[in-house]
C-alpha cells in the first residue's frame, strides 16, 4: 500500500520528482536574484525545465 | 475563459479515467464475490476520500497565501501531469501496454477467483479490501487533481463541474458496461490529461514565482501546444527505436 502511494505521488521513476525539484530550485533562485527578464520570460525557462524532465524520464526507463 | 474551460476539460478527463479504473475493480469484485461486499468496500473508501478532500481543500489549501499556494499546486500538477504524459508517450510509441480498464477488470477477476471465498454468512473481507483499496488509490488521485485544479483563480467551480460530468459519464458506462469500456481510446485520453495537467503545472508554478505570462490565461494554450509538439517528437523517436 505504501509503495503504491509513493508511486501515486512521485510516479514510477525518480527522474520526474528530481527534474521537477531542479526546475523549482532554478525558478526560486532566479526569482530571488530578480533579473529584469525573469518576470516576462521566466515561464519559458520553467517550460524548458519541464520538457527536459520529460525527456530525461523517457531516456531512463 | 480559457482557464475555465481547460480546467473543466482537464478535471472531467482525469476524474473520468480514474473513476473508470476504480469502477473496473469494483465491478470485478461484484461479479466474482458479490455486489454487497464490493459496495461496502467502495463505500468505506469513499468516506475516507471525503475526509481527505476536506483536509486537503478547506483546511490545508485555504490557509496558504496565493503565491506559495500556486507554487505548491504547480509542483503537484507537474508531478502528476508529467507522469501521465511519460506513460502516454511510452504507450503511443508502443513501448508500454495500452491503458485498458477492461484488462484491469479481467485481471482483478482472475486474482479474486484464486482467493478462497469465506464460509457462508461471514463477511468477505478480502473482497471488501480489494474494492476499497482500488477506490481509495484511484480516488486519492482524483481528490488531489481536483483540489489542485480548483486552487486556481477560477476557483473550484470548473474543476467540480468537470468532475460531476465525469461521474455521470462513468456511471452511464457502468450501467451498460463492457462494450463502451473496450471502445474507449484510454491511452490517447490519458496522454491528453498529461498534456493539460502539465500545462497547468508550468502555468501555476510560473505565476507563483512572479512571472507574468504573455497573453494571460491564453498561455495555457501555447503551453499545451509546446507540450504536445515536444512529446510527439519523443513518441516518433521512441517508436523508431522500438524493436519490430
User: What DSSP string runs through B28-44?
Assistant: HHHHHH-HHHHHHHHHH
Take residue B115 and report the three cell numbers written for it.
482467493
Residue of B68, B210, B219, B222 to mutate when probing chain A, most A C-beta within 10 A: B210
* Domain range enclosing B76: 2-241
Instruction: Report the residue from B95, B211, B227 with minimal CB separation from A38.
Output: B211
Take residue B33 and report the three cell numbers written for it.
464475490
* Inter-residue contact B37 to B29 (CB < 8 Å): yes
- Asked if pLDDT for residue B17 goes beyond 80, the answer is yes
Take residue B61 and report the three cell numbers written for it.
489549501
Take residue A38 and report the three cell numbers written for it.
525573469
Average model confidence (pLDDT) across chain B: 84
Q: Is B155 helix (H, G, I), strand (E, B) or coil?
A: coil
Phi/psi of residue B243, each to 5°?
Answer: -65, 145
- Asked if pLDDT for residue B167 goes beyond 60, the answer is yes
Distance CA B64, CA B55 (A): 13
Chain A residues touching B52 at Cβ < 8 A: none
Cβ <8 Å between B75 and A24: yes
Instruction: Report the residue from A28, A38, A47 with minimal CB separation from B226.
Output: A47
**CA quadruple B66, B149, B50, B133: dihedral positive or negative?**
negative
- Number of separate domains in chain B: 1
A20 touches chain B (CB under 8 A): yes
Cβ <8 Å between B137 and A11: no
* Inter-residue contact B68 to B159 (CB < 8 Å): no
pLDDT tens across B59-97, in order?
777 777 878 888 988 998 899 899 999 999 999 998 888
> Which of these, B232, B223, B168, lies nearest to B6 by C-alpha position?
B223
User: How many CB atoms within 10 Å of residue B47?
Assistant: 10
Q: Is B178 helix (H, G, I), strand (E, B) or coil?
A: coil
| Amino acid B179: pLDDT | 57
Q: Please give the average per-residue pLDDT across A3-8, as a whole number.
A: 64
* Inter-residue contact A46 to A27 (CB < 8 Å): yes
Segment B217-222 long-range contacts (CB within 8 Å, at least 24 positions apart): B217/B1, B217/B2, B217/B3, B218/B2, B219/A43, B220/B2, B220/B3, B220/B6, B221/B2, B221/B6
The CA distance from A60 to the nearest CA of chain B, in Å, is 11
| Amino acid A22: pLDDT | 95
Cβ <8 Å between B75 and A20: yes
Phi/psi of residue B171, each to 5°?
Answer: -65, -40
- Asked if pLDDT for residue A6 goes beyond 70, the answer is no
- Asked if pLDDT for residue B3 goes beyond 80, the answer is no
Q: Please give the average per-residue pLDDT across B151-165, as a whole number.
A: 81
Cβ <8 Å between B137 and A57: no
To the nearest whole percent, how much of chain B has pLDDT over 90?
Answer: 25
Report pTM: 0.80
Higher-pLDDT residue of B198, B129? B198
Measured CB to CB, residues of chain B less than 8 Å from chain A are 71, 75, 78-79, 82-83, 85-87, 89-90, 95, 133, 137, 140-141, 198, 201-203, 205-206, 209-214, 219, 223, 226-227, 230-231, 234, 238
Q: CB-based contacts of B181: which residues, under 8 Å, 6+ apart?
A: B20, B24, B101, B102, B105, B173
Residue of A46, A52, A61 to mutate when probing chain B, most B C-beta within 10 A: A46
Amino acid at each position: 500500500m505504501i509503495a503504491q502511494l509513493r508511486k501515486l505521488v512521485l510516479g514510477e521513476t525518480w527522474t520526474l520528482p528530481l527534474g521537477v525539484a531542479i526546475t523549482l530550485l532554478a525558478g526560486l533562485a532566479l526569482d530571488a536574484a530578480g533579473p529584469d527578464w525573469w518576470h516576462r520570460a521566466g515561464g519559458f525557462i520553467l517550460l524548458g525545465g519541464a520538457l527536459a524532465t520529460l525527456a530525461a524520464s523517457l531516456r531512463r526507463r | 475563459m480559457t482557464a475555465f474551460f481547460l480546467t473543466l476539460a482537464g478535471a472531467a478527463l482525469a476524474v473520468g479515467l480514474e473513476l473508470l479504473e476504480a469502477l473496473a475493480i469494483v465491478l470485478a469484485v461484484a461479479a466474482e464475490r458479490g455486489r454487497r461486499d464490493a459496495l461496502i468496500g467502495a463505500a468505506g473508501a469513499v468516506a475516507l476520500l471525503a475526509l481527505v478532500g476536506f483536509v486537503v481543500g478547506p483546511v490545508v489549501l485555504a490557509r496558504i497565501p496565493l503565491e506559495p499556494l500556486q507554487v505548491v499546486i504547480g509542483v503537484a500538477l507537474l508531478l502528476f501531469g508529467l507522469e501521465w504524459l511519460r506513460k502516454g508517450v511510452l504507450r503511443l510509441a508502443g513501448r508500454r501496454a495500452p491503458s485498458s480498464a477492461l484488462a484491469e477488470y479481467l485481471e482483478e477477476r482472475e486474482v479474486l477467483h484464486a482467493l478462497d471465498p469465506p464460509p457462508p454468512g461471514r463477511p468477505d473481507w478480502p473482497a471488501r479490501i480489494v474494492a476499497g483499496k482500488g477506490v481509495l488509490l484511484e480516488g486519492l488521485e482524483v481528490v488531489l487533481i481536483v483540489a489542485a485544479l480548483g486552487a486556481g483563480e477560477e476557483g473550484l467551480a470548473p474543476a467540480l463541474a468537470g468532475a460531476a460530468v465525469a461521474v455521470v459519464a462513468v456511471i452511464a458506462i457502468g450501467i451498460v458496461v463492457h462494450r463502451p469500456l473496450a471502445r474507449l481510446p484510454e491511452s490517447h485520453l490519458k496522454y491528453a490529461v498529461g498534456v493539460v495537467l502539465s500545462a497547468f503545472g508550468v502555468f501555476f508554478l510560473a505565476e507563483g514565482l512572479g512571472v507574468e505570462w504573455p497573453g494571460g490565461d491564453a498561455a495555457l494554450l501555447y503551453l499545451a501546444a509546446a507540450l504536445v509538439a515536444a512529446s510527439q517528437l519523443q513518441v516518433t523517436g521512441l517508436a523508431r527505436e522500438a524493436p519490430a
